[in-house]
């Protein structure tokens, strides 16, 4: 078993690291970004393959403090509204399915970048 960087890593984190280490170079772990909380993409994959991806990405746009309902496009607001409670959905899915979660944090920072007039490093 590979050692974790964090000496206080949970047992689940150690098991995940071991799984990833043993899988490396031998298999492919498939994943799917859900884009919105209804997760139509996951339903489509399951309807075609009978399986769901082990790795699932969740969009955190609804948690962005910089979304202005008055200035945002209808498409942006739809995506924000469809991603409300994403964190809860991700945690519930991970616990139920034993899956691997990845989070896409796409905060609306353009206005901060333009105001600062300097490069944005994340």
Residue 9 within a domain: no
Query: What is the spatial distance between Cα 101 and Cα 111, in angstroms, rounded to a whole number?
Result: 29
Report whether 106 contacts 64 (CB < 8 A). Answer: yes
Residue 8 within a domain: no
Structural domain including 53 reads: 29-116
Q: Model's pTM, two decimal places?
A: 0.70
Query: What is the spatial distance between Cα 58 and Cα 60, in angstroms, rounded to a whole number?
Result: 6
Residue 14 within a domain: no
Query: Position of tokens 């409300």?
Result: 84
pLDDT of residue 1: 72
- Average pLDDT for runs of 10 along the chain of length 122: 89 92 91 81 92 89 78 82 87 92 72 52 46
Residue 1 within a domain: no
Residue 17 within a domain: no
Residue 96 within a domain: yes
Strands, E assignment, the chain: 31-33, 55-59, 100-104
Residue 3 within a domain: no
Query: What is the spatial distance between Cα 37 and Cα 13, in angstroms, rounded to a whole number?
Result: 25
What is the total count of domains within the chain? 1
């Amino acid at each position: 078993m590979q050692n974790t960087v964090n000496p206080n890593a949970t047992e689940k984190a150690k098991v995940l690291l071991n799984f990833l280490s043993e899988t490396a170079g031998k298999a492919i772990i498939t994943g799917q970004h859900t884009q919105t909380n209804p997760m139509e993409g996951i339903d489509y994959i399951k309807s075609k393959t009978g399986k769901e991806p082990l790795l699932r990405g969740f969009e955190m746009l609804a948690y962005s403090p910089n979304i202005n309902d008055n200035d945002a496009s209808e498409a942006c607001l739809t995506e924000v509204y469809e991603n409300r409670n994403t964190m809860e959905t991700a945690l519930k899915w991970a616990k139920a399915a034993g899956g691997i979660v990845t989070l896409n944090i796409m905060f609306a920072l353009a206005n901060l970048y333009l105001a600062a007039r300097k490069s944005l490093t994340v």
